[in-house]
Chains A and B, each alone.
Chain A
Amino acid sequence: MAITRIGGANAITGTIPTSVAPGQGKILQVVRSFNPNFPSALTSSSSYVATGIQASITPTASGNLIIVDFSSSMNNTAGVGTAIMYLKVGSGSIAELPGITNGQYQVGYAASNHNRYAPHCFGGSYTATSTDVLLFEPYMKASSSTYGVAHSNSSTSLTLTEVKV
């Protein structure tokens, strides 16, 4: 459908797209896991371990976009540590969120002599390939001493938003 703005000194014309499916871009559901007083989780593991901060969502349709937002108000490290986002699809095994390469700092990096107690945040997405339940959880590891993605009594939030595509 062609449109024309009239009556102005700088009239504009254009075309309203007709290829947008009804409801496309609509937010279908939001799941939010918020903890105002995180109970602390510290690791010295050199391989990624669960943080215990989880949120699950069941997509209404395959192909929909799941926007994943995570924040921690304060990390807790006595050495050096990193965190990344993990995903479990249905009854499968949990693994690093696909589509991010070389993303070892995707959720956060902390070093005691640089940014101890600084916040962490993550904004990612995943395109659902089925309507199986999706479980998202940041994982963490330490490369020296100890590290926690969130300090005790810090706040954490993990928000999942399903968008119709």
Chain B
Amino acid sequence: MIIEAILKINPNAEVTVRGEDINTIEWHNGTTPIPVADIEAKMVELQAEYDAEEWKRNRQAEYPTIDDCIHALLDGGDTLTELQAKRTATKTKYPKSGA
């Protein structure tokens, strides 16, 4: 998470992070060090973004597979209706954040 936060602040940063220790960051090849407080703030922001998309990850885990979708589209009828019902149930189970 530390190095991801650093690269979000400076995509060209050349840096090494060992053991997820924010106090022993190595800056390489002329990269200007970023203050620890700024990195920590960005980490909080990234974590919030990740948490806010939990609904999406949950839906993806429970949605019918692509194979199921293809079969339903080709078969139509009840198969397609049942698949759409499953998708709707999953969406209801995991509403979008803030929805």
Interface residues of A, Cβ cutoff 8 Å to B: 39-47, 49, 52, 78, 145-146, 152
Taking each of B6, B28, B29, which has the highest tally of chain A beta carbons within 10 Å of its own beta carbon? B28
Known: A145-B7, A146-B3. A41 touches B18 (CB 8 A): yes
Is B18 touching A45 in the complex (CB atoms < 8 A)? no
Give the residues in chain B near A47, CB-CB below 8 Å: 14, 28-29
Give the residues in chain A near B14, CB-CB below 8 Å: 43-47
Number of A-B contacts (CB under 8 A): 48
Q: Which 3 A/B pairs are nearest by Cβ-Cβ distance?
A: A39-B19, A43-B16, A45-B28
Majority SS of interface residues in chain A? loop
B45 within 8 Å of A (CB atoms):
no
Q: For the side of the interface on B, what is the size category?
A: 10 to 19
Closest to A52 in B: B18
Is A45 touching B3 in the complex (CB atoms < 8 A)? no
B89 within 8 Å of A (CB atoms):
no
Q: Report how far A6 CA is from B6 CA in the complex, Å.
A: 75
Give the residues in chain B near A152, CB-CB below 8 Å: 20
Q: How far is the CB of A153 from chain B (nearest CB, A)?
A: 12
Q: How far is the CB of A141 from chain B (nearest CB, A)?
A: 9
Give the residues in chain A near B18, CB-CB below 8 Å: 39-41, 52
CB-contact partner of B26 in A40, A49, A78, under 8 A: A49
B17 within 8 Å of A (CB atoms):
yes
Closest to B7 in A: A44
B15 within 8 Å of A (CB atoms):
yes
Give the residues in chain B near A78, CB-CB below 8 Å: 4
Q: How far is the CB of B90 from chain A (nearest CB, A)?
A: 28
- Beyond the given pairs A44-B16, A47-B14, A145-B7, 5 more chain A to chain B contacts, judged by CB atoms under 8 angstroms and listed by A's residue number, are A39-B20, A41-B17, A42-B17, A43-B3, A44-B7
Q: How far is the CB of A146 from chain B (nearest CB, A)?
A: 5
